[in-house]
Amino acid sequence: MMERGLQVIGGSETNIDIIELSDRRAKFILSGISPAFANALRRSAIAEVPILAIDDVNIYENTSVLFDEMLALRLGLIPLKTDLDSYVLRSECSCKEGCPLCQVSLTLSAEGPKVVYSGELKSSDPKVAPADENIPIIELMEGQKVVLEAIAQLGKGEEHAKWQPATCSYKNMPTISISKCNGCGACVEACPKGILKLNDALTMTNELDCSLCHLCEDVCELGAIHVGSDPASFVFNLESHGSLPAEEVILRAADNIKGKIKRLTKCLSKLS
* CA atoms lying within 13 Å on the CB side of residue 70: 9
* Residue 18 interacts with which of Zn ion, ligand SF4, none, CB < 5 to 8 Å by class: none
Q: Is 172 in the site for ligand SF4 (CB under 6 A)?
A: no
Mark residues 131-150: x for contact with Zn ion by CB under 5 A, - for none. --------------------
> Bridge-partner residues for 28, per DSSP?
18, 236
* Residue 168 interacts with which of ligand SF4, Zn ion, none, CB < 5 to 8 Å by class: none
* Residue 196 interacts with which of ligand SF4, Zn ion, none, CB < 5 to 8 Å by class: ligand SF4
Q: Is 235 in the site for ligand SF4 (CB under 6 A)?
A: no
Q: Is 208 in the site for ligand SF4 (CB under 6 A)?
A: no
223: DSSP letter: -
Read off φ and ψ for residue 61, nearest 5 degrees: -150, 135
Q: Is 187 in the site for ligand SF4 (CB under 6 A)?
A: yes
- Rounded to the nearest angstrom, the gap between the alpha carbon of residue 54 and the centroid of all alpha carbons in its chain is 19
∠156-160-163 over CA atoms, to 5°? 45
Q: Which of 119, 183, 231, 259 touches ligand SF4 (CB under 6 A)?
A: 183
Q: How far is CA 52 from CA 36, 159, 165, 170, in A?
A: 29, 13, 9, 26
* Residue 161 interacts with which of ligand SF4, Zn ion, none, CB < 5 to 8 Å by class: none
Residues 84-103 close enough to bind Zn ion by CB under 5 A: 93, 95, 99, 101-102
